[in-house]
Amino acid sequence: MEDTTLFTSALLLLLSLLFFFFFFIKARPSSKPNAHYRLPPSPMGLPVVGHLHLLRPPIHRAFHRLTLRHGPLIHVRLGSTLCVVAAGADVARDLLKTHDAAFSDRPQTIAARRFAYDSAAFAFAPYSPYYRFMRRLCMSELLGARTVDQLRPIRRAEFTALLHTLLEKSKLRERVNLSRELIRLTNNMVMRMAASTTSSAAGGEAEEARELAKQVAELIGAFNVEDHIAFCRGWDPQGLSKRIRDVHARFDGLLERIIKEKEEARRRKKKHSNREGGEEDDDGVVKDVLDILLDAAEDEKAETKLSRENIKGFIVDIFTAGSDTTAASIEWVLAETLNHPHVLQKLRREIDQVVGNGRVVDETDLPNLPYLQAAVKEIMRLHPPAPLITRLATRDVTVGGYDIPAGSSLFVNVWSVGRDPKYWENPSEFRPERFVDDRAAVDMRGQHFQLIPFGSGRRWCPGMTLALQAVPAAFAALVQCFDWEVSGDSGSSSSSSGQEGKGRLVDMEEGVGLVSARAHPLILVPVPRLDPFPDI
């Protein structure tokens, strides 16, 4: 969509022509406070717009081109905003480990502030006692290993529904828009894990939540001139601020309905328990994320009291961050594998040996599938779900002999880090074998800075544990259960199970947005691989 493109160069150039003289006068004083700093190298900029004219979407690729030319640490100006871009594993380690405390906040855009209920949400909250409380709650309860494991049946049920859909399509030899099906799968998973006992989560308003989450991600990732050019603030020249207000109001209304349904269900349960004359009985029911949040809000002894806005903000976070990223990762790893039949054959050999043909692979099988895990690591290196880590400098920092002033925005280009030639041989190749032997110990949990798809330090992604279960399990089942014929819409025609060179390659063009997704839908024809097909 045009209004969600990160950088609309034509608009910015028009603005620079219209207001050039006014801005030039205003821009000159703004550079004085940084005059005594030794900033990292920078390409040639323009008055008013800075380096916006150099940035074509996708933005991480534009940053990559600039850092190849000027070095792994550069500075650019987005209008009046000073930004530092890091593109190598070593400089990423300096910024996110050595100087982690100085980059513990995130930049606040108009969209981020609105959808975060100012600072009430978790993802964009300042580093504060509230943020630390929520991070501990995430690790121990909300998105920790125990909760993720307890909610596994929900994920299994949703994926079983997808397999049924694919099987029915295969009988009719119908093409499937797998991109759309995977988004529906991950949205349903996240919604049911967030609020499993509400009618909304059961499907009453799932489509609305799916559409709203998509729009939130688009608006947070969109370039808004009001964020960067002071003269435009309050004008809303792109109409983005109005859209942000409208989408926020609709999402807030949906969240209120979901929360009220949950509160009513909890009251009924408590009333029933009191009538029975005993303590409240969980009946073995696993608490979903909303239950855990409401329990924390009702805990009088909690060190931080959660407000309604805190709860709604966190639910927005997991809806928007947990759905598209998971779906995109499954899609990328399947597409890369279809383009590399030798990888597909090795994966199927491993799955057949460990799981067999009588049942569908499950999350519990993942520890016994090292090559599958290697393929997922490789896709996170090549196509990290969030290609840019954004931070805000809260104090002056010196890195590699260069100064980063307080108030600067930091972009760590995870996409570039995964292609750092110092750490990766033939970095543009999809080669899972690189993680099988001596590099099998390289993990994605933020300690090996050549591979940081979930970030590192104080603001690492709390959804990592969930993603490392959902992505490989879904991918494994798709390659175990079906052969895939690449449709003309997705490739450049033959079955994915064919020999090297016989199958049509899947188009791998990258799209534009906050999440690193494919530019075009993945259109495939599923063909059952297992005969008889296992009961699902």
Helices (H), 145-239: 145-150, 152-171, 178-194, 206-221, 225-228
Q: Which long-range contacts (CB under 8 A, 24 or more apart) does 502-507 make?
A: 503/338, 503/341, 505/339, 506/335, 506/338, 506/339
pLDDT at 439: 63
**Are 39 and 403 contacting, i.e. CB atoms less than 8 angstroms apart?**
yes
Grouped pLDDT means (10 residues each) for the chain, 536 residues = 43 45 41 74 91 91 97 95 96 96 94 92 92 91 90 94 95 95 92 78 72 88 85 86 96 94 89 62 71 93 92 91 91 97 98 95 96 97 95 96 96 97 95 83 91 93 92 97 86 45 76 88 95 84
Q: Where do the structural domains in the chain lie, given as residue ranges?
A: 2-108+392-408, 132-391+420-528
pLDDT at 2: 41
pLDDT at 140: 87
Which of these, 454, 497, 401, lies nearest to 72 by C-alpha position?
401
pLDDT at 101: 95
Query: Who contacts 33 (Cβ-Cβ below 8 Å, separation ≥6)?
Result: 405
pLDDT at 195: 86
**Are 4 and 222 contacting, i.e. CB atoms less than 8 angstroms apart?**
yes
Helix (H, G, I), strand (E, B) or coil at 413: strand
Distances (CA, A) of 125 to 79, 110, 314, 387, 530: 24, 14, 10, 21, 48
Q: In what order do the strands lie in the sheet with 176-177?
A: 176-177, 523-528, 482-486
Residue 514 to residue 221: CA distance in whole angstroms: 5
Residue 378 to residue 380: CA distance in whole angstroms: 5
**Are 443 and 432 contacting, i.e. CB atoms less than 8 angstroms apart?**
no
Does the annotation flag 232 for ligand binding? no
Which of these, 96, 135, 111, 220, lies nearest to 463 by C-alpha position?
135
Helices (H), 222-302: 225-228, 240-275, 289-298
**The pair of three-digit structure tokens given for residue 437, joined into one six-digit string:** 């032997």
Distances (CA, A) of 80 to 33, 52, 182: 12, 10, 39
Note if the pTM is more than 0.85: yes
Distances (CA, A) of 116 to 66, 109, 173, 224: 32, 10, 44, 17
Going by the DSSP 8-state scheme, the letter that residue 240 receives in this structure is H
Helix (H, G, I), strand (E, B) or coil at 402: strand
Query: What would be the CATH architecture of the domain defined by 132-391+420-528?
Result: Orthogonal Bundle (1.10)
